[in-house]
């Protein structure tokens, strides 16, 4: 980390020097587009990474037509779905969400693979890849290296397999949406989740959580959680000892546990447990007899 920060400062300094040099030389060299150049904030390495990401994707509807190598497209900060820091110029937001069904029927999602060159975007704090079609690929483990992320939406993007435990490295996350639309995502264990102590919003709708036995403990260890959606996750009742350890979740306001295998006693208990609850969904739960 320390190394990286030094590198960053150094390269920023170099960049600054370079720009100053260019500005000084321009009149002498007879450049005539000086004002335009000064406007470009995009960092070249990040621009190249974004071009690589585009190359990995099939974009039949031209969602990414503003992205490219052409001269007039040099400032990647102006590309669709990109936002750069107005202080450092680094890309801080990448919003590639596809059309959700209530959004737009007349367009198509992006298809293909997410290029590992996304790792170049180390300053990302917001990443939305939802509602695309990643063709039953796994969720890339390398997303766990984008450690500045605060917002991550991978919902309904046609991923399959096991949610990578590397997501537990994203300790700044406040929003995590892994909602599945195809029933093909599962979770082996949930230990990684307890590392995400800043999490406020968690959606794992339709993920198969029948394997982790500790789901309640894990959720209970997230101190800032205010919205939790675990609809249709194949959850079974927690064993009573678990309940007596209840600690936190005092911010929990919205809870969706519908369509699981839970008994009604857990709901009686939940209402006691968090006074901040304002919305609980459980009516379509399959009650245990
Ligand atoms: C930078 O962006 C932030 C948030 O978008 C804004 O509040 C701030 O005024 C901007 N600063 C400059 C110098 O443009
Ligand atoms: C849907 O997408 C089409 C094509 O991209 C666009 O022209 C139209 O404005 C969009 N409609 C809505 C409601 O977003
Ligand atoms: C998901 O990917 C599979 C495999 O490529 C494909 O057959 C299927 O149509 C995709 N589903 C959706 C909803 O995009
Ligand atoms: C990321 O998480 C994995 C698995 O939890 C761990 O082995 C690895 O050391 C972590 N990497 C970083 C950079 O924290
Ligand atoms: C969920 O996972 C469990 C254990 O891996 C498996 O037995 C069950 O069939 C899965 N449920 C669905 C709907 O795939
Ligand atoms: C309860 O909180 C204490 C102190 O914050 C912590 O050490 C303990 O692990 C928590 N227990 C559970 C079950 O989360
Ligand atoms: C809820 O709290 C009330 C009053 O404190 C208590 O009588 C009741 O047993 C509690 N219910 C559960 C399920 O813990």
Ligand 2 centre distance from Cα of residue 104 (Å): 6
d(CA 73, CA 66): 7
Ligand 3 centre distance from Cα of residue 137 (Å): 10
- Residues lining ligand 5, Cβ inside 6 A: 183, 186, 208, 210-211, 234
- Residues lining ligand 4, Cβ inside 6 A: 144, 165-166, 168-169, 192
Nearest residue (by CA) to ligand 3, atom 10, is 135
Nearest residue (by CA) to ligand 6, atom 5, is 247
- Identify the nearest ligand to the CA of 135 by its number: 3
Question: What phi-psi label fits residue 155: left (phi over 0), alpha (psi between -120 and 50 degrees) or beta?
Answer: beta
- Identify the nearest ligand to the CA of 270 by its number: 7
What does the chain come to in residues? 289
Could you tell me which of 268, 269, 266, 256 has the C-alpha nearest to residue 288? 266
Could you tell me which of 230, 233, 238, 235 has the C-alpha nearest to residue 255? 230
Residue-level pLDDT at 279: 74
- We find that the CATH architecture of domain 39-288 is Alpha-Beta Horseshoe (3.80)
Residue-level pLDDT at 107: 82
- Identify the nearest ligand to the CA of 221 by its number: 6
Ligand 6 centre distance from Cα of residue 231 (Å): 26
Residues 137 and 162: beta-carbon distance below 8 Å: no
Please give the number of the atom of ligand 6 that sits closest to the Cα of 221. 14
Q: Are strands 111-112 and 57-58 parallel, antiparallel or unpaired?
A: antiparallel
Residues 222 and 197: beta-carbon distance below 8 Å: yes
For the chain, the structural domain boundaries read 39-288
* Three-class SS state of 275: coil
Residue-level pLDDT at 1: 41
Give the list of residues 6+ apart from residue 241 with CB closer than 8 angstroms, or none: none
Residues 136 and 159: beta-carbon distance below 8 Å: yes
Global confidence as pTM: 0.80
- Residues lining ligand 7, Cβ inside 6 A: 268-269, 272
Ligand 5 centre distance from Cα of residue 208 (Å): 6
Nearest residue (by CA) to ligand 4, atom 7, is 166
Return the sign of the alpha-carbon dihedral for residues 259, 264, 266, 270.
positive
Give, for all 289 residues of the chain, the pLDDT tens digit: 444 444 455 554 544 544 444 444 433 333 333 344 557 789 999 999 999 999 999 999 899 999 999 999 999 999 999 999 999 999 999 999 998 866 666 688 999 999 999 999 999 999 999 999 999 999 999 999 999 999 999 999 999 999 999 999 999 999 999 999 988 999 998 999 999 999 999 999 999 998 887 787 788 788 888 899 999 999 887 765 555 545 545 678 888 888 888 877 776 666 666 666 777 776 554 443 3
Q: Does 221 sit in the ligand 6 pocket, CB within 6 Å?
A: yes
Nearest residue (by CA) to ligand 2, atom 11, is 104
Residues 188 and 211: beta-carbon distance below 8 Å: yes
Mutate to test the pocket of ligand 4, among 169, 173, 189, 191 (most ligand atoms within 8 A of CB): 169
Per DSSP (E only), the strands in 179-286 are 185-186, 201-203, 227-229, 254-256, 279-281
d(CA 228, CA 257): 8
Find where tokens 């009650």 sit: 287
CA 227 to chain centre: 16
d(CA 236, CA 74): 53
For residue 91, list its beta bridge partners: 84
Residue-level pLDDT at 101: 65
Residue 179 vs residues 129, 148, 160, 176, 183: alpha-carbon distances, Å:
12, 22, 12, 9, 9
């Amino acid at each position: 980390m320390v190394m990286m920060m030094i590198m960053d400062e150094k390269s920023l300094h170099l960049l600054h020097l370079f720009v100053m040099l260019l500005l000084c030389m321009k009149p002498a060299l007879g450049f005539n587009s000086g004002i335009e150049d000064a406007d470009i904030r995009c960092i070249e390495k990040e621009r190249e990474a974004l071009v690589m990401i585009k190359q990995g994707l099939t974009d039949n509807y031209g969602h990414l037509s503003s992205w490219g190598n052409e001269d007039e497209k040099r400032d990647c900060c102006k590309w669709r779905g990109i936002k750069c820091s107005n202080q450092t110029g680094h890309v801080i937001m990448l919003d590639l969400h596809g059309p959700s069904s209530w959004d737009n029927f007349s367009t198509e999602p992006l298809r293909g693979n997410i290029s590992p060159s996304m790792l170049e975007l180390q300053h990302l704090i917001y990443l939305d890849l939802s509602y695309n079609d990643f063709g039953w690929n796994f969720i890339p483990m390398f997303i766990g290296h984008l450690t500045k992320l605060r917002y991550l939406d991978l919902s309904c993007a046609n991923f399959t397999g096991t949610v990578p435990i590397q997501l537990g490295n994203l300790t700044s996350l406040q929003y995590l949406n892994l909602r599945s639309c195809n029933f093909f995502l599962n979770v082996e264990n949930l230990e990684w989740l307890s590392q995400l102590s800043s999490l406020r919003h968690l959606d794992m709708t339709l993920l198969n959580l029948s394997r982790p036995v500790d789901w309640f403990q894990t959720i209970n260890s997230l101190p800032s959680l205010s919205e939790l959606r675990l609809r249709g996750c194949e959850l079974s009742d927690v064993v009573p000892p678990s309940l007596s350890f209840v600690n936190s979740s005092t911010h929990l306001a919205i809870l969706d546990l519908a369509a699981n295998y839970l008994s009604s006693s857990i709901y009686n208990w939940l209402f006691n447990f968090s006074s901040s609850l304002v919305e609980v969904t459980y009516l379509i739960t399959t009650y245990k007899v």
